[in-house]
Structure 1
């Protein structure tokens, strides 16, 4: 596999393949990144912000596409990102204008699989979560509540947990440990 250079946006939230995230872009260097992506000058990766790292993100990021954008009332830009492919961040350098460019290598995405048995509870809980948080549900035209991979990744995106712990789960070869973790959380709070 060949490595690929990508522009990096960092964010507090996690974005995974098939996930969507709305991001407000204010910083001029990030506005230049968005412009370069629209001009097909570079690919875009989003990584969870890490203050003590160079580059300033965790080693797993997600290659993504900008699928929508809006100018907000305060003249800032809102973009909606859709995750496509997990990538490992190998290295990075900050450009003179403040942008970060990272060298990445594709990581295998988790394979879709049906949710079965007691794990259907995590799907039902995610559906309820979206009912309570309609702003997140509105990002998706198609929810895949019957896909264990999709449901697991959406939970990792929204659960309030340390980013380093999310990375441990993301480094697993499939969604099984994440499903078991979320199921334990739900049962513990039932």
Structure 2
């Protein structure tokens, strides 16, 4: 069974985030995942139950934080469907998962006439420039990859958990692309 880490954090493949680890069950999760070279699933909760979809993540860095707690950096690897769950005696969630195919990647060239793709990428560049603390997590951002850009947008937009679950269940970034483009159009008007 795969270890599950329930958080309100939403991360998709290619996304990165920093976590503070202090509960014994999650210290165990980090220790075992690091020792075995395996990832864990970042899952969202609704009340006392886990949502159906999550993201398999890898621990890509760790550090001791100034307050003495463990800090880890995670990177999204693959969307997953959580088929069943159980809890260990220490309350660590475990689950049977099914991996989902990656969204097809949709590159564009800066001089393309596809305004939608260019606008999504350009607007994300502006967000990264305005929030260097967030941008520093991405050594090499892939703004030219519209799927990557849409995934980063979905991670930072203030969406409900139900909306995030709907997007993560999709087979491609097409719905996200339309949604983000519409938001950008409304913001300008």
Q: What TM-score, normalized by structure 2, do the two folds share?
A: 0.92
Structure 2 residue ranges without an equivalent (≥5): none
Task: Tell me if the contact between 2:79 and 2:168 (Cα under 8 Å) persists in the aligned partners.
Answer: no
Between the aligned partners of 2:58 and 2:38, the Cα distance in structure 1 is 11
What is the match of residue 153 of structure 1? 151
**CA distance 1:99–1:128, change in 2 (3 Å):** same
Q: Number of residue pairs matched?
A: 183
**C-alpha root-mean-square deviation of aligned residues, in Å?**
1.4
What is the match of residue 87 of structure 2? 94
Between the aligned partners of 1:21 and 1:43, the Cα distance in structure 2 is 14
Structure 1 residue ranges without an equivalent (≥5): none
Deviation at 1:41, TM superposition (A): 7.3
Between the aligned partners of 2:104 and 2:79, the Cα distance in structure 1 is 12
Q: What TM-score, normalized by structure 1, do the two folds share?
A: 0.91
Alignment of 1:26 with 2:19, yes or no, is no
Deviations 1:89-114 (A, max 9, x none): 01111100121111100111101112
Alignment of 1:40 with 2:36, yes or no, is yes
What is the match of residue 137 of structure 2? 139
Deviation at 1:42, TM superposition (A): 5.0
What is the match of residue 69 of structure 1? 62
